[in-house]
């Protein structure tokens, strides 16, 4: 069993661990952890699936790969642990949430997005690991196969789910999303390089997600922690 009893990701991972690509992937990842500095910490490798059980998924936000700098990556896309300086993309995520909901608050100091994961927001990086200081260093076909299987599993779920595809890398995965019960929201990426060129600020992606959830009699997401 990979996760706590009752987490339906267990059945998914128990099935794919029999696949040749997954066995190769785990061999590769284990060797990398033994010989290099890899982020996130090994115990946080599957954090997104642990904190957001399959049956609880309401929103999927796609990242890319973990932060390659010390003390940042924690197994949740865009999230950093308590006490760590906010990365630029996360600052822009917070700014957009505050703007959309017209909140009279300062930018949150904490970048720990565990509170979102616990509400059913799957914060998913297609590549779950990275070599320290080397973005996309684990961009390998075995991770692509795993990510495809994950997306197809999510797509097959017979319930409403919002998929947020931020930036061109995320938008490439729209092809896996064919279920008419789901909603797909595409925007620019929140990184300053992309967001400042338009398509992120004012996108209302969080409002749209909440409206969709409400229309489907699901609890809206509390996007900013009290």
Active site residues per annotation: 65
H or E stretch at 98: helix 88-100
- Residue identified by tokens 């990086």 is 125
Q: 75 with 45: CB under 8 angstroms?
A: yes
SS3 68: coil
Backbone region of residue 102 per phi and psi (left: phi > 0; alpha: psi in -120 to 50; beta: other values): left
Contacts of 89 (CB under 8 A, 6+ apart): 78, 189, 190, 191, 192
Pairing of strands 59-62, 38-39: unpaired
Q: How far apart are CA 115 and CA 29, in angstroms?
A: 28
Strands, sheet with 162-166, edge to edge from the N-terminal-most edge strand = 121-124, 59-62, 162-166, 183-187
One-character DSSP codes across 120-169: TEEEE-SS--EETTBTTTT--HHHHHHHHHHHHHHHH-SS--EEEEESHH
């Amino acid at each position: 069993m990979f996760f706590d009893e009752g987490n339906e990701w267990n059945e998914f991972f128990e099935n794919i661990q029999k696949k040749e690509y997954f066995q190769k992937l785990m061999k590769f990842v284990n060797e990398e952890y033994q010989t290099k500095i890899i982020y996130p910490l090994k115990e946080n490798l599957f954090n997104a699936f642990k904190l957001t059980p399959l049956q609880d998924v309401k929103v999927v936000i796609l990242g890319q790969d973990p932060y390659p700098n010390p003390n940042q990556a924690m197994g949740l896309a865009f999230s950093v642990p308590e006490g760590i300086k906010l990365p630029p993309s996360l600052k822009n995520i917070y700014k957009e949430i505050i703007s959309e909901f017209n909140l009279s608050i300062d930018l949150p100091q904490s970048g720990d997005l565990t509170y979102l994961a616990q509400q059913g927001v799957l914060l998913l990086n297609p590549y779950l690991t990275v070599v320290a200081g080397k973005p996309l260093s684990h961009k390998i076909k075995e991770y692509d196969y795993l990510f495809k299987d994950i997306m197809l599993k999510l797509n097959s779920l017979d319930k409403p789910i919002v998929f947020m595809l931020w930036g061109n890398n995320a938008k490439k995965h729209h092809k896996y999303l064919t279920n008419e019960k789901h909603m797909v929201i595409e925007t620019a990426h929140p990184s300053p390089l992309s967001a400042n060129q338009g398509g992120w600020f004012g996108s209302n992606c969080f409002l749209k997600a909440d409206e969709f959830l409400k229309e489907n009699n699901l609890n809206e997401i509390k996007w900013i922690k009290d």
